[in-house]
Amino acid sequence: MTRVAYLDVPATARWAARRGPERVIADLTDALERDFRRWPELETRPRLASHSRDGVIELMPAADATTFGFKLVNGHPLNPSRGYQTVTAVGMLADVHHGYPSFLAEMTILTALRTAATSALAARYLAPRGARTLALIGCGAQAEFQALGMRAELGIEHLRVFDVDPGAVAKLERNAKTLGFQVTVCTDAGDAARGADVVTTCTADKRNATVLLDADVVAGQHLNAIGGDCPGKTELEPATVRRASVFVEHEPQTRVEGEIQNQPADFPVTELWRVVVGEAPGRISTDELTIFDSVGFGVEDFTALRFVHDDLLREGQAPDELLQWLDLIAEPDDPKDLFSLVDGA
């Protein structure tokens, strides 16, 4: 009998807590860098998205020569007002050689970890030297993970935070202080950005919004724009994008979903993997304004799924107690006699 390893939400939380979330993000950042270095070897494609009035449901695939993976994820900005999470996700790995699934996992927590790791990887190449202050514009579910990722990568010590929801600000302030950050609560997004070396925008509203005014963005900053992740949804003023060096994950997807969706089709951008392999420069001067226009991409989920799977099933060790095992594969004694399973039941 072929069984599928399964990681549920409580087990993912225990795994992250046991390893330490900051350490997980740091190790995931390195794992992402390894996969970005082999980007041309990977099967990459824009995600399949189904949009509705209330949000979006997306399928995000990626593969290499031995493993196929995908994530099923939603994004529904009004969900918190209805008692639901804005973003939830599940993911799966399958063996390319026979097509059988091998791993099923929750990916709501994993997505937060991999998004923070992707931001940290971009900051490795794009953030100004000596960055110690991070502005977090949007204090929702991603915020603590983003802070930990930037501390692991850059040594961030001070957070300047703003959200239109005072409850979200209070939540982040409480958690961040417990994690050892200095926290300044700001009056608006511009106030948060002023004095910050790195600015992360992570808001949920599904519309073309100006979360951060161009007048509040200064030369030398690195903007980590991760909230504009579907058509019709942006966070930055077009003028800010036009005067920056812009880096993206997968250009065909970002042209439709990212901050650059409101720019001309020939607006110049650089895919981050090209910087990682040395084909293109990252930050080239102290006064350069850089933007990582991140919309999330299937390779990042592929990396995260394989990372946690391999961590829990290390070669030569007994399966981790956090894993469960599911009988998801129909395997009759005669591969051509599927009916026998129903008849015998």
**Residues forming the active site:** 229
Closest CA to 73 of 305, 323, 261: 305
Q: In terms of C-beta density within 10 A (0-12 exposed, 13-18 middle, 19 or more buried), how is residue 275 classed?
A: buried
- Report the C-alpha gap between 143 and 279 in whole angstroms: 32
Angle at 67 between CA 65 and CA 68, to 5 degrees: 110
Three-state helix/strand/coil letters over the chain: CCCEEEECHHHHHHHHHHHCHHHHHHHHHHHHHHHHHCHHHCECCCCEEEECCCCEEEEEEEECCCEEEEEEEEECCCHHHHCCCCCCEEEEEEECCCCCEEEEEECHHHHHHHHHHHHHHHHHHHCCCCCCEEEEECCCCCHHHHHHHHHHHHCCCEEEEECCCHHHHHHHHHHHHHCCCEEEECCCHHHHHCCCCEEEECCCCCCEEEEECHHHCCCCCEEEECCCCCCCCEEECHHHHHCCEEEECCHHHHHHHCHHHHCCCCCCCEEHHHHHCCCCCCCCCCCCCEEEECCCCHHHHHHHHHHHHHHHCCCCCCCCCCCEEECCCCCCCCCCCCHHHHHHC
